[in-house]
Amino acid sequence: MIETHNDVIREKHLPKVGDTVRSRKHGTPWRVIEKREVWLNASDDPPTGEYRAIPAIYLCYWRVHDGRQPGIGKMLGYAYSLHDNTFEENWETVR
């Protein structure tokens, strides 16, 4: 099966732009302000062992502070693929 960006979004249950997530480590709220499709290099192509590109979703987070305008202050960005579980380990979606 060839992986797609939609597979990453569906399988990882990634938030949408405007959604708020909470850091599991610090308990701080962050808002998703950007979401885009990117490609990551992976060196685990089974038949050849060569590098290959895999689809990933890049999310940019803005630290929510009362009284501050969006985009001013600390921001973080990470790319998530089907081959990692870093979103589930580090973030929880706030409903």
Write the pLDDT tens digit of every residue in 5-59: 999 989 999 999 999 999 999 999 999 999 999 999 876 666 666 677 899 999 9
Query: Does residue 57 form part of some domain?
Result: yes
Query: Does residue 36 form part of some domain?
Result: yes
Structure tokens at 66: 């009362």
Q: 4 — alpha (psi -120 to 50), left (phi > 0) or beta?
A: beta
For residue 57, the model assigns a pLDDT of: 97
For residue 1, the model assigns a pLDDT of: 63
For residue 49, the model assigns a pLDDT of: 64
Domain that holds residue 17: 5-88
| pLDDT of 92 higher than 80 | yes
Query: Does residue 95 form part of some domain?
Result: no
CA distance 32 to 26: 17
| pLDDT of 84 higher than 80 | yes
Q: How many domains, in total, are found in the chain?
A: 1
Query: Does residue 31 form part of some domain?
Result: yes
Query: Does residue 61 form part of some domain?
Result: yes
Query: Does residue 93 form part of some domain?
Result: no
For residue 3, the model assigns a pLDDT of: 86
